């Protein structure tokens, strides 16, 4: 069995590269087509797991972190992964993001304590519990995202709710001042991710729905050398609904590239995951749960894909000529979703372009399109809907926040409200576990509110802990957290708000007038670096 796994997913041995690549692609596609029906829990955390990250250069290590303020690292190059290989501590509150540096020398983490910790991972892989090597305290808000440079261990980006993206360079020759290393705006940043191939390019997203491709050389440095806040491409993210002409700018809560950097997926709060080509400002496709994986429509009233509550992160993965061919994302219906993504050329050909003149006569009052609000005469784009997920990722009792497809092995990791990391596999024997169990496909229904649930929610709101909960609680050790988020989901289901009412947008009164000021720097162009520095 071990030799089979080595041939399929390890070194190419003596096979010609083309033959090996085709064989690997065919095998992985077979796995994905049949679904990931087996799973195992990785248990070490004591509360919600918010962040997952694979190490660089093949994904030997998995980092996990969350509300218990510790980061754990799991070694996936062992026969049976049962416990973390090491852990890292120091945070005072919830961790939101973790990332490995280019050569895996460092592990970075950030969260609600407004601090970024840099750990020396090269020394922390043998049942150790390590303190931070360095601490970065420049932000004044939650750390929402950390992205490491694709080739330099000392360089990384951080995005924060304080409205800034910071460029960090720990090399001795770095000369950027604090102001020169900061991109500041009035809106909370949610993402800052380096392009996986072009090292000077990165993408940002924010709570007003702006998604921008930027150039490091234009975004940072002395003010006189900056240009357009570094923006080289702004993606169209504003929605318009035909029935009432209402616009919406959904919160872009996270963005991820595929492994080749040819496409990116934007996670919108209260809307569908949306696929873009790197070079096209308009979206190509949206991913939904309108159908079940077998192709039948989701029954009326049944819970299906939704993203109304927590901050979620998805991932691309799998083989493909045109980049990774699969996309995975978590949902409020307690499942993960995996969609097969057609080639970019197919998506581009099949999306619908509606001219401004034809928009009013388009069939279907509930048609939703993407539009450039700076021009009333701009065409409306209806991306291709991918309504049928390839399969679901089951096993969770509550919301799935993060899904992560392994870059090399047929494995998908998921995490969320529960304290476990779920490792999903298409077979009962995985590369790092001989003990994968068949995952139950039943999804826990959202229960009605009860007085007992109200008492437990009050405990959660007042800092109650799981300790002392009924050991026979069917929700397990995470019962308090699950009950709390059940109530949030019930309130959302009772709300009549949709993305157009909760994220409504004031449209410019005149064509061509741009009302979007979210990427405007706090400091004006005339400000010097010294004056900016003094303001911190």
Q: Is residue 530 over pLDDT 60?
A: no
* Confidence at 123, pLDDT banded by 50, 70, 90: confident
Radius of gyration of the chain (CA): 23
Q: Is residue 20 over pLDDT 70?
A: no
Which of 317 and 19 is assigned the larger pLDDT?
317
- Do the beta carbons of residue 225 and residue 532 sit within 8 Å? no
- For strands 420-425 and 412-416, give the pairing: antiparallel
Q: Measured between alpha carbons, how far is 500 from 381 in angstroms, rounded to an integer? A: 17
CA distances 121 to 109, 233, 237, Å, are: 12, 35, 38
Q: Is residue 162 over pLDDT 90?
A: yes
Query: What pLDDT was estimated at residue 524?
Result: 31
* Confidence at 525, pLDDT banded by 50, 70, 90: very low
Q: Measured between alpha carbons, how far is 169 from 192 in angstroms, rounded to an integer? A: 15
Query: What pLDDT was estimated at residue 322?
Result: 55
Q: Measured between alpha carbons, how far is 469 from 481 in angstroms, rounded to an integer? A: 11
The SS3 assignment for 405 reads strand
Strands (E), 237-343: 239-241, 247-248, 252-257, 263-268, 274-277, 285-287, 315-317, 326-330, 336-340
Query: What pLDDT was estimated at residue 76?
Result: 96
Q: Is residue 511 over pLDDT 60?
A: no
Query: What pLDDT was estimated at residue 269?
Result: 95
Query: What pLDDT was estimated at residue 189?
Result: 98
Residue 257: closest CA among 420, 376, 108, 145: 145
Q: How many CB atoms lie within 10 A of CB 419?
A: 22
Residue 468: closest CA among 67, 459, 398: 459
* Confidence at 476, pLDDT banded by 50, 70, 90: confident
Percent of the chain scored above 70 by pLDDT?
Answer: 85
Q: Measured between alpha carbons, how far is 347 from 52 in angstroms, rounded to an integer? A: 29
Mean pLDDT of 492-505: 81
Mean pLDDT of 41-45: 97
Q: How many CB atoms lie within 10 A of CB 133?
A: 15
Query: What pLDDT was estimated at residue 508?
Result: 52
CA atoms within 13 A on the CB side of 402: 27
* Confidence at 533, pLDDT banded by 50, 70, 90: very low
Mean pLDDT of 293-300: 96
Question: At 479, phi and psi to the nearest 5?
Answer: -55, -40
Q: Is residue 147 over pLDDT 90?
A: yes
Q: Is residue 131 over pLDDT 70?
A: yes
Query: What pLDDT was estimated at residue 125?
Result: 60
Residue 198: closest CA among 182, 214, 183: 214
Which of 57 and 13 is assigned the larger pLDDT?
57
Q: Is residue 529 over pLDDT 80?
A: no
In which element (H, E) is residue 452 found?
Answer: helix 451-461
Which of 396 and 20 is assigned the larger pLDDT?
396
Least confident residue range of 190-194, 295-299, 481-485, 491-495: 491-495
Which residues 6+ apart lie within 8 Å of 399 measured at CB? 309, 310, 330, 331, 332, 334, 416, 417, 485, 489
Q: Measured between alpha carbons, how far is 471 from 309 in angstroms, rounded to an integer? A: 28
Which of 523 and 237 is assigned the larger pLDDT?
237
Q: How many CB atoms lie within 10 A of CB 234?
A: 17
- For strands 263-268 and 315-317, give the pairing: unpaired
Q: Measured between alpha carbons, how far is 215 from 229 in angstroms, rounded to an integer? A: 9
- pLDDT tens per residue across span 326-348: 999 999 999 999 999 999 999 99
CA distances 470 to 41, 58, 102, 448, 457, Å, are: 22, 42, 45, 20, 15
Query: What pLDDT was estimated at residue 52?
Result: 98
Q: What is the mean pLDDT of the chain?
A: 87
Query: What pLDDT was estimated at residue 323?
Result: 67
Locate 518 and state its tokens: 């979210």
Kindly tell me the burial class for residue 495, based on how many C-beta atoms sit within 10 Å of its own C-beta (0-12, 13-18, 19 or more).
Answer: exposed
Instruction: Give all domains of the chain, ordered by start, each with its CATH number.
Output: 43-446 (2.130.10.10)
Q: Is residue 7 over pLDDT 50?
A: no
CA distances 481 to 46, 212, 472, 488, Å, are: 11, 35, 16, 11
Locate 287 and state its tokens: 């991913």
Q: Measured between alpha carbons, how far is 87 from 125 in angstroms, rounded to an integer? A: 9
Locate 372 and state its tokens: 């450039």
Interior CA angle at 38 toward 32 and 41, to 5°?
125
Query: What pLDDT was estimated at residue 477?
Result: 87
Residue 205: closest CA among 280, 247, 255: 255
Query: What pLDDT was estimated at residue 321?
Result: 54
Question: At 149, phi and psi to the nearest 5?
Answer: -60, 140
Supply the DSSP symbol for 433: B
DSSP string, 169-238: E-STT----TTTTEEE-SS-EEEEEE-SS-TTEEEEEETTS-EEEEEHHHHSS-GGG--GGGEEEEE---
The SS3 assignment for 485 reads helix
Q: Is residue 393 over pLDDT 90?
A: yes
Q: What pTM, to 2 d.p., does this model score?
A: 0.89
Query: What pLDDT was estimated at residue 352?
Result: 96
Give bridge partners of residue 352 from the DSSP assignment: 382
Which residues 6+ apart lie within 8 Å of 500 measured at CB? 239, 241, 244, 246, 247, 248
Query: What pLDDT was estimated at residue 255?
Result: 98
Mean pLDDT of 65-89: 95
Mean pLDDT of 510-527: 36
Supply the DSSP symbol for 44: -
């Amino acid at each position: 069995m071990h030799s089979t796994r080595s041939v399929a997913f390890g070194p190419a041995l003596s096979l010609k590269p083309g033959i090996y690549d085709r064989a690997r692609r065919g095998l992985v596609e077979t796995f994905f087509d049949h679904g990931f029906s087996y799973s195992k829990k990785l248990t070490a955390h004591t509360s919600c797991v918010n962040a997952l990250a694979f190490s660089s250069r093949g994904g030997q290590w998995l980092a996990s972190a969350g509300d218990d303020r510790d980061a754990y690292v799991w070694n996936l190059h062992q026969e049976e992964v049962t416990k973390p290989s090491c852990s890292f501590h120091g945070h005072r509150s919830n961790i939101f993001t973790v990332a490995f540096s280019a050569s895996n020398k460092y592990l970075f983490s950030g969260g609600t304590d407004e601090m970024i910790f840099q750990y020396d991972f090269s020394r922390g892989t043998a049942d150790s519990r390590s303190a931070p090597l360095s601490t970065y305290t420049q932000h004044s808000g939650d750390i929402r995202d950390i992205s490491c440079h694709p080739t330099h261990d000392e360089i990384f980006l951080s995005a924060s709710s304080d409205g800034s993206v910071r460029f960090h360079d720990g090399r001795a020759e770095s000369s950027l001042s604090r102001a020169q290393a900061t991109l500041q705006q009035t809106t909370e940043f949610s993402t800052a991710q380096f392009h996986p191939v072009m090292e000077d390019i990165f993408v940002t997203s924010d709570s007003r729905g702006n998604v921008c491709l930027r150039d490091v050389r234009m975004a940072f440095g002395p003010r006189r050398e900056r240009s357009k806040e570094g923006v080289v491409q702004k993606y169209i993210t504003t929605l318009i609904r035909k029935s009432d002409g209402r616009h919406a700018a959904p919160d872009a809560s996270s963005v991820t590239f595929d492994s080749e950097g040819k496409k990116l997926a934007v996670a919108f709060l209260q809307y569908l995951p949306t696929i873009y080509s790197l070079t096209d400002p308009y979206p190509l496709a949206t991913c939904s749960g309108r159908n079940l994986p077998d192709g039948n429509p989701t029954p009326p009233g049944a819970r299906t894909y939704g993203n109304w509550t927590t901050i979620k992160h998805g991932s691309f993965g799998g083989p493909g000529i045109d980049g990774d061919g699969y996309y995975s994302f978590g949902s409020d219906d307690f499942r993960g979703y995996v969609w097969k993504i057609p080639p970019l050329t197919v998506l581009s050909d099949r999306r619908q372009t509606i001219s401004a003149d034809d928009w009013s006569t388009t069939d279907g009052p509930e048609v939703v399109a993407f539009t450039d609000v700076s021009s009333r005469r701009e065409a409306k784009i209806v991306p291709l809907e991918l309504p049928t997920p390839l399969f679901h990722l089951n096993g969770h009792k509550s919301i799935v926040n993060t899904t992560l497809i392994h870059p090399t092995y047929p494995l998908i990791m998921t995490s969320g409200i529960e304290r476990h990391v779920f490792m999903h596999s298409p077979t009962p024997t995985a590369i790092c576990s001989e003990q994968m169990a068949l995952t139950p496909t039943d999804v826990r229904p959202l229960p009605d509110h009860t007085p007992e649930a109200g008492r437990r929610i009050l405990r959660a709101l007042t800092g109650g802990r799981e300790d002392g909960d009924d050991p026979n609680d069917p929700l397990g050790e995470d019962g308090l957290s699950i009950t709390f988020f059940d109530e949030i989901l019930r309130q959302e289901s009772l709300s009549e708000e949709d993305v157009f009412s909760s994220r409504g947008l004031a449209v410019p009164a005149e064509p061509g007038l741009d009302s979007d000021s979210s990427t405007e720097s706090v400091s004006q162009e005339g400000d010097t670096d010294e004056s900016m520095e003094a303001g911190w």
